[in-house]
Amino acid sequence: MRMDAGNDSIENIKILIKQETKVDYIIKRNLRKESSEGWLQIARNKGKLIKVREGKDIYYGDTYFRHPDIESPLRVVFKVTVETIDESGQIRVMPDIEVSTYYTYTSLLEEEPEVIEALYAEHGTSEQFHSEPKGDMDLERLPSGKFETNDLVLHFGILAYNILRIIGQESLKGNDAPILKKAHRRRIRKVIQNLITIASRVIFHANHFKLGLSRDEPWFRSFRRIYQAFAFGN
C-alpha cells in the first residue's frame, strides 16, 4: 500500500497493521509543525551522507517513533537534502533544506531507506498511467447513473486502452516514426493523434475495400508497418 501525505493518519496505520489486513505500506508523512532544522539534526546523527556535489548533501536514514495508540514503534524513513551552494555556484545566505519522511513497514524490515524512497517515487509514475484513461480517453466521468452501464463502458474503455497501448509499443519497434527523441513508451494521447485520427479515406474498388492515405503523411510508414503487424502477424 502506497499513500501520499493526504493519508498520513494514525487511523489508517492502525488498519494497515491489523492481523487480518496486514500489508506492507509506505505513507508519506505530513511534517505539520516539525521543523526542517530538527530533521537535519536527526539526519546528521543517524543518517548516511551522500555528497551530490559541492554545496549539496543528501542524508538517508531511519528512526522510530512511538504513538500511544500503537503498541510497536513505527519506522520512519527520511531523506534530507541540504543545499548551501546552488547549481550556478551562488552561495546561499541560508541553507535550503528539503525533508521527506515516510511511515513504512515492509516484509524486509531492513529495506534500505534509498529503496523505500525510490518505491514511493514510483507513486508518481503510477499516477501518470492512471491519467491516460482518465484524461486522454475521457473516462474520468462515466456517463450513466446506473452501475451496470458504467461497468460496460469501463470494460470497453479497458479494451480500447489495451489496443492503443499495443499500437503505441509496436510503433517503437521501427525507426520510421517522425519523432525527434527516442522514447520507451508513447502516451495514449499521442497514439490517438498520430495513428488513429490520421487523415484517410475508405475506397471501394474491384469488390474490395481499401484505406487510402496520403503519400506525404509523415506517419504513413509507421501506420503501414503497424497495420501489417496486426493484420498479418509480420
% of the chain with per-residue pLDDT over 70: 96
Q: Given CA atoms 192, 195, 200, 202 in this order, what sign does their dihedral have? A: negative
**Residue 55 clears pLDDT 90, i.e. is over it:** yes
Over the chain, what is the mean pLDDT? Answer: 89
Q: What is the pLDDT of residue 63?
A: 94
Domain ranges of the chain: 2-129, 147-232
53 pLDDT tier (thresholds 50, 70, 90): very high
Q: What is the pLDDT of residue 108?
A: 61
% of the chain with per-residue pLDDT over 90: 50
**Residue 18 clears pLDDT 70, i.e. is over it:** yes
Q: What is the pLDDT of residue 19?
A: 85
210 pLDDT tier (thresholds 50, 70, 90): confident
**Residue 128 clears pLDDT 60, i.e. is over it:** yes
User: How confident is the model over 134-162, as a mean pLDDT?
Assistant: 91
Q: Given CA atoms 138, 139, 142, 143 in this order, what sign does their dihedral have? A: positive
The SS3 of residue 29 is coil
Q: CA neighbours within 13 Å on the CB side: how many for 113?
A: 24
Give the global pTM.
0.61
Q: List 114's β-bridge partners, or say none.
A: none
**Residue 125 clears pLDDT 90, i.e. is over it:** no
Q: What DSSP state is assigned to residue 7? A: G
**Residue 109 clears pLDDT 70, i.e. is over it:** no
Q: What is the pLDDT of residue 163?
A: 94
Contacts of 95 (CB under 8 A, 6+ apart): 82, 83, 84
